[in-house]
Amino acid sequence: MDTRIPEMTVRTLVERLATSDPAPGGGSAAAVAGAMGAALVQMVVELTLGRPAAEGHEETLAEIRTAAAAWQSELINLAELDANAYDAVVRARRLPRDSELARHARSVQVDGAVREATRIPLATAQAASAVLDLAEQAAPVGNRNAISDVGVAGLLAISALRGAALNVQINLPYLTSDETLRNEAAAEIASLLANADERDMAVRRAVAERLR
């Protein structure tokens, strides 16, 4: 890409996603969604600290703010890494296969590229899961006037988690059978998704309660 994802305008990123170029794609979109979720959590904290609603929750809110800022930065970085990882897979698959040596070299490159293209969305899923936790923590204590923003943060986080999981799952069959990441990634994604619906609903319920 001519421009790195962190440097793109929103319009440019959306327009790039709409082209026939598969990178950036769903993995990057999931990471950006997670980053926006983290940013909204941080915004709600900023709108809460220093107000009467924050009384007795200052330490928790400060911790949420710090974590949200960190995950926001990490997820933007993962959006860029995801696009680069897919590009690496495409380049590796285009390597020559006109000799035994070339085929072996290509195989090594493809295996490494697919491994990275699996590792990155796995990290995105883990980060998005952490953002979902932050939304759940912020829902009961955040500024009531911004509680809808906590709800949006939760929706973005769960979407990022599920989207990243799909990008892990689509790559698993291309990992070699002796690749430890294959089983590890499958198990981690299964664990992250096991209670995803319950966690999603917990945020929604907390938000709905405070909207009344």
Q: How far is CA 56 from CA 14, 50, 62, 130, 136, in A?
A: 41, 11, 12, 23, 18
Q: How confident is the model at residue 1 (pLDDT cuts 50, 70, 90)?
A: low
Q: Is the dihedral of CA 146, 141, 75, 77 positive or negative?
A: positive
Under 8 Å between Cβ of 174 and 114: yes
Burial class (CB in 10 A: 0-12, 13-18, 19+), 20: exposed
DSSP result, 109-126: HHHHHHHHHHHHHHHHHH
- pLDDT at position 182: 95
| CATH level 2 (architecture), domain 25-211 | Up-down Bundle (1.20)
2 pLDDT above the threshold of 90: no
| Residues sharing a CB contact under 8 Å with residue 130, sequence separation 6 or more, in sequence order | 67, 71
Q: How confident is the model at residue 27 (pLDDT cuts 50, 70, 90)?
A: very high
120 pLDDT above the threshold of 90: yes
Q: How far is CA 20 from CA 13, 23, 115, 148, 187, in A?
A: 13, 9, 24, 35, 32
- pLDDT at position 22: 87
What are the tens digits of pLDDT across the range 42-100?
999 999 998 887 888 899 999 999 999 999 999 999 999 999 999 999 999 999 999 99
Q: How confident is the model at residue 40 (pLDDT cuts 50, 70, 90)?
A: very high
Looking at residues 129-158, what average pLDDT do you find?
97
* Whole-prediction pTM: 0.94
